[in-house]
């Protein structure tokens, strides 16, 4: 299970690069396989289309059970709305024994989950430092989660003054959710709350937008976008979105000044 | 601003390694400087102790303003409870002009925030896949945040059935918070809710513990630990903590079976 980070290959950790290099078979969604192809040599490549997640996982598991070294790739971090959970879910549903490669125990296949730079960290880095305080990650995809659950979570996140990271804000078939989120958040938060929108972080076509909550839906978003809505303390300074951690207030309160 | 990820150097992205290699000065907390030292050659190293965050940032900024190439290092991801925000806060408080290195604009210093694998992603990868659905990150450090705010956020996170990631669960001077969190969460969540505890992910002394909410405080934690509390759907299977995303339920409902 290999995480590719946001914008390969400069953002893929060496452990993941080694796993790709050592793999006999590389399995993944076509778009990401294309981006990672410069790193591949003689590996067999199995690329599948969108919405073929279950098929892709099954294929990777079958190959691994047959004794091949398989790299199943996932963009960002495989463990955050990625493919790592599906492999484990399917393995569990099929009663398979899985375990980390460093243990001797008898298993149907060994599994290493190699983490990566998640989209929320890549996006935050391009925006400045919006995630310096407590935050929530919420996916707006209601294909697998009832919309009422998503709405409830957004309400609670606003009540708690969390920074809010929205994954999957929009797709071709889902175009109304982000407007609904804006309406919901505007009932609880200041219209001028800073909002950052990052698409295709660290890869071709990257865009970074600084806006405010009342203007959120005037900006282009798609499935390769994350949206970061600030908390009540978040501010912008030059090109940066900043959520203060509280150090400066603390040091000022102690009369130590900014220079500490 | 260079993120080191959890367990250097195999988990440091190439972009960060390049920034370290190109730096004239490397500034950071002693413990992390020690871990990253194998990657350094002729760079000047300025290591400072704990709680010297403001001093460290100021020093890095002063050197950068003087024209030096500075790498200010932060473990995990610099943008998640890390040092990136403090640099920006201090720059803003001092009215400095900062901007990304790829723009021509006149600035007091150029700043690139290089993301990394955050502790939450590293910990999740070692536990299996606990972050496959909406989650919150909450720091239990009440040095900079009132405890009432932390408590309120935990209440709301439990109400929203978010997976909960706890940062800074304990330090030498803060020993009662995790017990208070356990009591609070037990009022809303099943005592058998899976909990994963990861310390020193991907570096010497790594430990991974699978436990349940009612046994949380029976386990050792410190400042280098993250705690992941599952949502109502999270389960364990073999050594893994799994939060289902919903694919399998969906495919089953459509009569497609697990194999899709």
**Chain A, nearest residue to B243 by Cα:** A85
Q: Scanning every residue of chain A, which has its alpha carbon at the shortest distance from the alpha carbon of B153?
A: A160
Provide the pLDDT confidence category of residue A254 given band limits of 50, 70 and 90.
Answer: very low
Question: Which chain A residue has its CA at the smallest distance from B161's CA?
Answer: A153
Q: Which two tokens stand for residue B192?
A: 């058998």
Q: Residue B24 carries which DSSP code?
A: S
With tokens 């604009």, the residue in question is B105
Mean pLDDT (chain A) is 91
Interface test with A, best of B57, B115, B137 (most A CBs within 10 A): B115
How far is it, in rounded angstroms, from Cα A200 to Cα A224? 6
State the average pLDDT for chain B. Answer: 91
Interval A162-208: pLDDT, tens: 999 999 998 888 889 999 999 999 999 999 999 999 999 999 899 99
Residues of B in contact with A116 (CB under 8 A): 117, 121
Residue A162: phi and psi, rounded to 5, are -75, 150
Place of tokens 């030059």: A238
Number of Cβ pairs < 8 A linking chain A and chain B: 286
Chain A (54-93) residues lying within 8 Å, Cβ to Cβ, of chain B:
54-55, 58, 77-82, 84-93
Q: How high is the ipTM of this complex? A: 0.94
Q: Is the Cβ of A96 closer than 8 Å to some Cβ of chain B?
A: no
Which residues from chain A sit within 8 angstroms of residue B121, using beta carbons?
3, 77, 79-80, 115-118, 121
What is the percentage of chain A residues whose pLDDT exceeds 90?
A: 75
What is the nearest CA distance from A165 to chain B, expressed in angstroms? 10
Element (H, E) at B9: none
pLDDT greater at residue A247 or residue A40: A40
Identify which of B235, B181, B228 has the alpha carbon closest to the alpha carbon of residue B209.
B228
The residue ranking higher by pLDDT, A3 or A255, is A3
* Rounded Cα gap, residues A95 and B128, in angstroms: 16
pLDDT (tens digit per residue) in A195-209? 999 999 999 899 999
User: Which residue among B88, B99, B125 places its CB closest to the CB of A242?
Assistant: B88
For chain A, the three-class secondary structure string (H helix, E strand, C coil) is CEECECCCCCCCCHHHHHHHHHCCEEEEEHHHHHHHHHHCCCCEEEEECCCCHHHHHHHHHHHHHCCCCEEEEECECCCCCCCHHHHHHHHHHCCCCEECCCCCCCCCEECCCECCCCHHHHHHHHHEECCCCCEEEEECCCCCCCHHHHHHHHHHHHHCCCEEEEECCCCCCCCCHHHHHHHHHHCCCCCCCEEEEEECCCCCCCEEEEEEHHHHHHCCCCCCEEEEECCCCCEEECCEEECCCCHHHHHHHCCCCCCC
What does residue B105 show for φ and ψ, rounded to 5 degrees?
A: -50, 145
Q: How far is B235 from chain A (nearest CA, A)?
A: 10
What is the block-wise mean pLDDT of chain B (260 residues), using blocks of 10 residues? 85 94 94 88 89 89 95 95 94 94 85 96 98 97 90 98 96 89 98 97 94 96 94 96 81 38
For an interface test with B, the pick among A48, A72, A92 (most B C-beta atoms closer than 10 Å) comes out as A92
> Chain A contacts of B146, Cβ < 8 Å?
none
Query: Rounded mean pLDDT of A220-248?
Result: 92
Taking CA–CA distances from B138, the nearest residue in chain A reads: A134
Q: How far is A110 from chain B (nearest CA, A)?
A: 12
Q: How far is B54 from chain A (nearest CA, A)?
A: 6
Partner residue opposite B160 with nearest CB, options A5, A131, A152: A152
pTM: 0.94
């Amino acid at each position: 299970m290999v995480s590719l980070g946001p914008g390969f290959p400069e953002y893929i950790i060496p452990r993941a690069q080694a796993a790709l290099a050592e793999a006999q078979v590389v399995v993944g969604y076509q778009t990401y396989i294309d981006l990672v192809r410069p790193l591949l040599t003689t590996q067999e490549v199995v690329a599948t289309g969108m919405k073929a997640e279950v098929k892709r996982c099954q294929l990777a598991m079958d190959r691994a059970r047959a004794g091949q070294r398989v790299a199943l790739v996932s963009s960002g971090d495989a463990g955050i709305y990625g493919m790592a959970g599906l492999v484990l879910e399917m393995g569990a549903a099929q009663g398979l024994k899985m375990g980390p490669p460093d243990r001797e125990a008898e298993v149907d296949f060994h599994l290493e989950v190699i983490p990566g730079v998640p989209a929320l960290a890549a996006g935050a880095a391009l925006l400045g430092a919006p995630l310096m305080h407590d935050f929530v990650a919420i996916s707006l995809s209601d294909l697998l989660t009832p919309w009422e659950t998503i709405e409830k979570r957004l309400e609670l996140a606003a009540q708690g003054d969390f920074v809010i990271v929205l994954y999957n804000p929009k797709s071709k078939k889902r175009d109304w959710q982000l407007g609904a989120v804006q309406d919901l958040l505007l009932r609880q938060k200041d219209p001028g709350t800073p909002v950052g929108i990052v698409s295709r972080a660290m890869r071709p076509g990257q865009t970074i937008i600084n806006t405010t909550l009342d203007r959120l839906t005037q900006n282009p978003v798609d499935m390769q976008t994350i949206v970061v809505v600030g908390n009540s303390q978040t501010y912008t300074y030059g090109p940066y979105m900043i959520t203060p951690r509280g150090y400066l207030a603390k040091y000022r309160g102690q009369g130590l000044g900014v220079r500490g």
